[in-house]
Amino acid sequence: MLTDNILSRGAVMKKIIQNTLLGSDIQDILIDGTKISGIGAGLVSSHPEAQIIDGKDTAAFPSLINGHTHSPMTLLRGAGDDLGLHEWLTECMWPLEDKYTDEEFYWGNRMALMEMVRTGTGFFNEMYFNPHLALKALEETPLKARINFPIMDGMNPEVGKKQWKDCERFFEETTAPQGVQLGMVLHSVYTDSRESIEWVRNFAADKNLPIHIHLSETEKEVQDCMEAHEGLSPVEYLHQLGVLSQRVVAAHTVHLSETDIEILSDTGVNVVHNPGSNMKLASGVFPYKALRDKKIPILLGTDGAASNNNLDMLEEMKLAALLQKVHTGDPTLMSAEEIFEIATKKGAEIFNTGGGVIELGKEADIILMDLKSPALFPAWNLISSMVYSASGMDVKTHISSGNVLMEDYKIPGYERVLEEAGRCFDRLRS
Ligand SMILES: [Zn+2]
């Protein structure tokens, strides 16, 4: 497997984004290493050594935080559309995933990273097989991420035992690069045996690792769980097993009872709204207001590109806001400011990325939006424009930890990744 080592982590050279719109003023942003070290007008003259990034006709925003995705599923984008979750998983996704080799995992990850750079995602919380290949892909495109080792035993503890060993080895052998965190995946209560759930609970507690899980995504998941576990919902079942805590990030959480919401609130679980995927698979509607009113930490996620069908967090913000409004009949629910904050500042706080806002001392995780794009003109309210009219295609420049990953729409190495991912696509459909 060839690599093209375009960029490395921990940029050292000073950079200045010149003449970008930040808030209501045209400013320069000075980046020293990975951090923002100056904001103001005319910084170029006092830092003649700095590399200049042209910010003219752009607006600067923090890059976006994707709370739940499956990166290598970019190769399955468009396969098995218009099916319900369980049929989609068992008849389409899992048979195709069985054909994945290291090549598909690696280039699927690379392709996802290209899409995230292109559309302004600066951090993502991953859930997929072969996390070492996700880490390898991140060497080439140094975004921030949480990469999680997956336990999914198909309800067979004997399969689980092998995965537990692999997991122990992964954590012994792996050091996360700067900006990348490591964690665990429990796929779901319908794909993991009680033994594996308990093993993950103990291992994560011992090593103080986060746990990423699918939770109460469909009505079927809840009903099946209640039948199998003496009337307990997935939330109640996991709570009884002692899994739920502040270290848990639970994706979907669509079908929740009042008791479930109390438990999530009491245990400090973080939840992820995935509106695109939930609508496409007709899973249901995330109970945003009830969760927000209980002050449960809320994230936004795209899910994988096979159920969305893209990783565009700008589009996801719009879907989230529109879904909540039409579902509740309340047009004031989930304002542009609210969902923008969830996808940036609050997401960054939950994942402790060091970014999420453009302020002195923060990580330089910045996107420059193209103010010449029709979607961003006129800018009555730029946050509204970001949520309701812009898309990821309007991101012109993307900086992650001070590394310029895309400048003026150009991403180094994109053609090569497209070519290799195309070869994988040909193999999968043959
Ligand atoms: Zn998912």
Tokens 């040909």 belong to residue: 426
How many Å lie between the centroid of ligand 1 and the Cα of residue 277?
A: 8
How many Å lie between the centroid of ligand 1 and the Cα of residue 173?
A: 27
Q: Are 356 and 62 in contact (CB under 8 A)?
A: yes
Residue 399 to residue 391: CA distance in whole angstroms:
17
Residue 233 to residue 228: CA distance in whole angstroms:
10
* φ, ψ for residue 97, nearest 5 deg: -65, -30
Q: Which amino acid is at 295?
A: K
How many Å lie between the centroid of ligand 1 and the Cα of residue 69?
A: 6
How many Å lie between the centroid of ligand 1 and the Cα of residue 107?
A: 19
How many Å lie between the centroid of ligand 1 and the Cα of residue 34?
A: 31
Arithmetic mean of pLDDT, 158-175: 98
Output the pLDDT for position 10: 59
Sign of CA dihedral 73, 115, 105, 206: negative
pLDDT band at residue 13 under the 50/70/90 scheme = confident
The pLDDT of residue 6 is above 80: no
Peptide bond into 208 cis (omega under 30): no
How many Å lie between the centroid of ligand 1 and the Cα of residue 77?
A: 14
How many Å lie between the centroid of ligand 1 and the Cα of residue 312?
A: 15
pLDDT per position as a tens digit, 27-63: 999 999 999 999 999 999 999 999 999 999 999 999 9
How many Å lie between the centroid of ligand 1 and the Cα of residue 31?
A: 35
Copy the structure tokens of residue 150.
């997956």
How many Å lie between the centroid of ligand 1 and the Cα of residue 251?
A: 7
Residue 365 to residue 123: CA distance in whole angstroms:
9
Q: Which of 136, 33, 2, 63 lies closest to 406 in space, CA to CA?
A: 63
How many Å lie between the centroid of ligand 1 and the Cα of residue 362?
A: 30
The pLDDT of residue 1 is above 80: no
pLDDT band at residue 208 under the 50/70/90 scheme = very high
Complete DSSP assignment for 327-344:
HHT-TTSS-HHHHHHIII
How many Å lie between the centroid of ligand 1 and the Cα of residue 187?
A: 9
Tokens 């709204």 belong to residue: 273
Domains observed in the chain? 15-62+359-413 (2.30.40.10), 64-351 (3.20.20.140)
Sequence-distant (≥ 6) Cβ neighbours of residue 108 within 8 angstroms: 71, 72, 73, 74, 75, 100, 421, 424
How many Å lie between the centroid of ligand 1 and the Cα of residue 306?
A: 10
Residue 228 to residue 155: CA distance in whole angstroms:
12
Copy the structure tokens of residue 359.
């302020």
The pLDDT of residue 5 is above 60: no
The pLDDT of residue 3 is above 50: no
Phi-psi region of 386 (alpha: psi -120 to 50; beta: other; left: phi over 0): alpha
Per-residue burial over 92-102, b = 16 or more CB atoms within 10 Å of its CB, e = otherwise: bbeebbeebee
Q: Which amino acid is at 399?
A: I
How many Å lie between the centroid of ligand 1 and the Cα of residue 270?
A: 15
How many Å lie between the centroid of ligand 1 and the Cα of residue 284?
A: 14
Copy the structure tokens of residue 123.
């951090």
Residue 145 to residue 135: CA distance in whole angstroms:
9
Residue 234 to residue 217: CA distance in whole angstroms:
10
pLDDT per position as a tens digit, 67-106: 999 999 999 999 989 988 889 889 999 999 999 999 999 9
